[in-house]
Amino acid sequence: MQNQRVLITGGAGFIGSNLANHLAETNDVVVIDDEYLGTSANLESGVDYHNRSVLEDDLPTDVDVVFHLAALSSYAMHEENPTEGARVNVEGFVNVVEQAREDGCETVVYASTSSIYGSRTEPSPVDMPVTVNTGYEASKLAREHYGEYFANHYDMNVAGMRFFSVYQGYGGAEEHKGEYANVIAQFADDMANGEAPVLYGDGTQTRDFTHVSDIVRGLELAADNELTGIYNLGTGDAYSFNTVVDMLNDELATDIEPEYVENPIPDSVYVHDTCADSSTMYEATGWEPEIDFAEGLRRVCAQYTETDAVASSHQ
């Protein structure tokens, strides 16, 4: 993508800021974020930043492409206030896309979720039946239906991307999020500081961990190819939390046992296992993940291992 005017909602957050900083190298990038989970410190100076809510009028939607990533993005946030969750995730989406449509924008790429597949150890294709067990999942599925409406009624290019466990280290754009940061960043930081990572249950739950740089590339390809419909962004490989701890111990040269705690999320709604079938995205754009999990963990841990190596060389 080059020489286009782009709006990224939620663009000061984890995925959004990585996308904004990447696209700003060759595009005019505008970001709005209400700073609930984002911070302008994540953004490079070339990004045009606005502290705004997706629920507001007169947003800067005079753009070629909208990447709508703004959301209340966890189970807990929606259980605390289901009405607010629906307003931000559903009404906010409709509000932004409608304003962009009125301003002549025809291409929207937005964030959905893989949680609606439920617990599956086999790869989940986009055309399989999905269910809703939480307010968060309900809001994202509603977003998909509104995306379909805008595509069918107004002939827009509207692509929903179901992300699978996106990660990056605290050296990226996650540290400010604390308990809402991705688990890889949390585990690595705890272990690098000699603390036990806290695992829900027995640690056998599995996730398809996808590095944020692969997600950014997928989002850009979706816009470049003017996709419409629903697509998965994931690796097709899944790792248990116990395995993650073992691999982090190897990478950090530590020997730390995890702490197991009771899962605060009810078993009836907890997604125990995820795995992506991203073949539809590959067929449409050629996208496939480039960073395998071992390399991704090396990148996560580099801020600790390289610092240690420099410190040792000066002793």
- Mean pLDDT (the chain) is 94
pLDDT at 309 over 60: no
Instruction: Identify which of 168, 174, 163 has the alpha carbon closest to the alpha carbon of residue 140.
Output: 163
pLDDT at 313 over 50: no
Contact 89, 143 (CB under 8 A): yes
Taking the C-alpha atoms of residue 197 and residue 200, their distance in angstroms, rounded to an integer, is 10
pLDDT at 308 over 90: no
Look at residue 306 in the predicted model and tell me its pLDDT: 80
pLDDT at 30 over 90: yes
Beta strands 239-240 and 206-207, pairing class: antiparallel
Handedness of CA 293, 294, 297, 302 (dihedral sign): negative
Each residue's pLDDT tens digit, 168-188: 998 777 777 777 789 999 999
Fold annotation for 5-164+210-233: Rossmann fold (3.40.50)
Mean predicted confidence (pLDDT) in 87-103: 98
Taking the C-alpha atoms of residue 216 and residue 167, their distance in angstroms, rounded to an integer, is 12
Each residue's pLDDT tens digit, 200-238: 999 999 999 999 999 999 999 999 999 999 999 999 999
Look at residue 75 in the predicted model and tell me its pLDDT: 80
Q: Rounded to two decimals, what is the model's pTM? A: 0.94
- The percent of residues in the chain predicted with pLDDT above 90, rounded, is 87
The residue ranges of every structural domain in the chain are: 5-164+210-233, 175-206+237-275+291-313
Mean predicted confidence (pLDDT) in 87-93: 97
Handedness of CA 33, 43, 176, 197 (dihedral sign): positive
Fold annotation for 175-206+237-275+291-313: UDP-galactose 4-epimerase; domain 1 (3.90.25)
The greatest distance separating any two alpha carbons of the chain, rounded to the nearest whole angstrom, comes to 67
Each residue's pLDDT tens digit, 262-307: 999 888 889 999 999 999 999 999 999 999 999 999 999 999 998 5
Look at residue 74 in the predicted model and tell me its pLDDT: 79
pLDDT at 310 over 50: no
**Structure-block tokens of residue 141:** 């599925």
Contact 67, 61 (CB under 8 A): no
pLDDT at 40 over 80: yes
